[in-house]
Amino acid sequence: MEQARRDLGADFYAAADLSFVIAGILGITAGLKIYKRIQDGNKDITPEISAWFYAALFMLLSGLFLKALFGI
């Protein structure tokens, strides 16, 4: 049982780290897309900013949830 817990913990540790990487990529992509919309003269960018922010926040929290769930 302990061996299965260690193996499962190792897999989810990698998944939790992957969620942090994905959140970082989302942040960079969001910054570039929002910058482009500002440069194009679009004044209503608030919905897009909040959508990208909550997407990155979800990825960060899912990684923390996995770490807390499996005690790693």
For the chain, how many structural domains are there in total? 1
Can you tell me the distance from the alpha carbon of 45 to that of 36, in angstroms, rounded to the nearest whole number? 11
Residues 6+ apart with CB under 8 A from 3: none
Question: What local confidence, expressed as pLDDT, does residue 37 receive?
Answer: 92
For residue 56, the one-letter residue type is: A
* pTM for the full predicted model: 0.68
CA 19 to chain centre: 5
pLDDT band at 29 (very low <50, low <70, confident <90, very high): very high
Task: Tell me, yes or no, whether 1 lies in a domain.
Answer: no
The whole-chain average pLDDT of the chain stands at 83
Task: Tell me, yes or no, whether 2 lies in a domain.
Answer: no
pLDDT band at 72 (very low <50, low <70, confident <90, very high): low
Task: Tell me, yes or no, whether 45 lies in a domain.
Answer: yes
Provide the domain limits for residue 34.
Answer: 9-70
pLDDT average, residue stretch 16-41: 88
Q: Which helix (H) or strand (E) holds 5?
A: helix 2-39
